[in-house]
Structure 1
Amino acid sequence: PVKLYELYSFLCSLSSGSEMPSEEKQGSTVIEKFADATTIMVVEDDPINMMLISEVLRKMGFKVIKASNGKQALEILP
């Protein structure tokens, strides 16, 4: 399972090249918009994890493409 602050920190580090300070990681529960019209694929076989991860990413501004396994993910890709 992915913790919200870990996911947010990772996504922030992709765009800024640095990680969020540890104080913000532990106390942060607010989901802020991160991107406009950016698409990300989530590959997860557990429906609850898929729903949670997808919802967090959607609230951050991502368009989410869902796949339940690696084979399905490869079939979705152009």
Structure 2
Amino acid sequence: MKEVKSQLSKSPGPGKQGGLNAEIQSRIGHQLRAMYDDVVRQGVPDRFAELIRKLDTPEGGAGGDTTAKPDGRE
């Protein structure tokens, strides 16, 4: 990662466009995928899964809150 930072901090020479070369983009991509893979493996917490189930339940269905109006007011 230090190599990427040192390459990023170098200013482009005359006539060169700023940007990242393919190798740096690839390294960043690999590191981002590794971080996001860890997040995906953690799964959805039970409380979020329950909230999603409640949102997916049709209004007036079993287990749904029938006191809420369609505009979100009670």
Same fold, judged at TM 0.5 (above): no
TM-score where L is the length of structure 2: 0.22
Higher radius of gyration, 1 or 2: 2
Richer in strand (by share): 1
TM-score where L is the length of structure 1: 0.21
